[in-house]
Amino acid sequence: MKNALYLIFIIVAFQLGCTKPTDTKMAGPEINSDNLDTGKVLPGSDNSQTSVDWAGTYFNVLPCASCEGIETWVTLNPDNSFQLKTNYLGLNDAREEIFTGKFEWDSSGSFVQFKGLIGDAPGKYKVGENRIWHLDQDGKQIKGELADRYILHKK
């Protein structure tokens, strides 16, 4: 009798374990062509826009071919507005430029692009934890021995 009860228990447990869940909340999100690799940031996605405390002011002295360096402050605000302030060192310390406007996140949620006229800078930055990377004219991360000088750190 005891063996029969164990056998029934095992059969019932096996059948319950092999049945397909009917509650879609338990089954997880449905994967289809509408949400697969579209470049859209899906709710719950981990990226700089959703997972990093990105709002704040960042600073570094960027390399300059015709001066001692470019003091650069970038402020990213939660309302997607920005302020870019530059000061060219060694030429004329009074040459300070300030640009303000709005920025947009790219579809991956990892890069911001400034909108409007901002001088000769591309206005595109990769966003990370407590730092942003000033990108080149093509929107690519700068490589080489001066690469660290293009990383602005959060103040």
The correct CATH number of 54-154 out of 3.40.50.1220, 1.10.10.10, 3.40.718.10, 2.40.128.640 is 2.40.128.640
Owner of token pair 């062509």: 33
Question: What pLDDT is recorded for position 126?
Answer: 96
Question: What pLDDT is recorded for position 119?
Answer: 66
pLDDT digits (tens, 9 = 90+) for 100-143: 999 999 999 999 999 976 666 668 999 999 999 999 988 999 99
List, as one string, the DSSP characters of the chain.
-HHHHHHHHHHHHHHHHHSPP--HHHH-PPP-TTTSSSS---TT--SHHHHS---EEEEEEE--SSSSEEEEEEEE-TTSEEEEEEEEETT-TT-EEEEEEEEEE-TTSSEEEE-S-BTBS--EEEEETTEEEEB-TTS-B--STTGGGGEEEE-
* Mean of pLDDT over the chain: 77
pTM of the model: 0.68
Residues 84 and 99: beta-carbon distance below 8 Å: yes
Question: What pLDDT is recorded for position 148?
Answer: 96
Alpha carbon dihedral 10, 12, 14, 20, in 10-degree steps, equals -170
Question: What pLDDT is recorded for position 95?
Answer: 77
Question: What pLDDT is recorded for position 116?
Answer: 77
Can you list the residues of the chain whose pLDDT is less than 50?
2-42
Q: Which residue ranges make up each domain of the chain?
A: 54-154
Residue 151 CA to residue 13 CA, distance in Å, equals 57
Owner of token pair 């949620």: 109
Question: What pLDDT is recorded for position 45?
Answer: 65
